[in-house]
Amino acid sequence: MLNLPSGRTLYYGKGDVLVYRTYAKPLEIVPIPESPFAGNRNVIFAHNVRFAVSGQSLLTSFTEGDNGKVVATDSMKNFLLRQAASFQGCATEELLCFLGERFLETYPHIESVEISADRLPFQPVEVPGPGGILRQQPRIPAVA
């Protein structure tokens, strides 16, 4: 992030951007005896993303009130959501690199991005019934 001579840091961003992708590329690995991890099907590939930007061109928004180069935080959120939909990878680190690179390509006046995320776990749920199918109960008509 941009450090000013005054010792202040110039950056801003958006947190709690919940990014969900269904049926992302499965994460396949070679199992090792030291780890119980066996990969991930990535049926639901979900993250809580934190995103911040910095650049010399943004300084006037702080010193002169000129917001001409500012990317609105909701625009950042929408950008992240849209780009995540076209992500073809399978790992969190890969997603973050993809999003950061795309943002810098789209907004060349931004000098740096700081991006991090927590993976939101979604575990499969066992559904009772033959073949894992839960049969619906017959509907009871409502009394008018």
pTM: 0.82
CATH for 2-132, options being 1.10.1530.10, 3.10.270.10, 3.40.50.720, 3.30.420.340: 3.10.270.10
Q: 19-29 burial by CB neighbour count: b if 16+ within 10 A, else e?
A: bebeebeebee
Q: What are the sequence ranges of the domains in the chain?
A: 2-132
Q: How far apart are CA 106 and CA 112, in angstroms?
A: 12
List all residues 6 or more positions away from 140 whose beta carbon is below 8 Å from its beta carbon. Answer: none
Is 14 part of the annotated catalytic residue set?
Answer: yes
List the catalytic residue out of 9, 14, 22, 92.
14
Residue range 4-23: mean pLDDT, rounded? 86
List the catalytic residue out of 60, 69, 73, 92.
73
Identify the pLDDT of residue 140: 62
Closest CA to 103 of 79, 82, 75, 86: 79
Is 22 part of the annotated catalytic residue set?
Answer: no
Identify the pLDDT of residue 131: 72
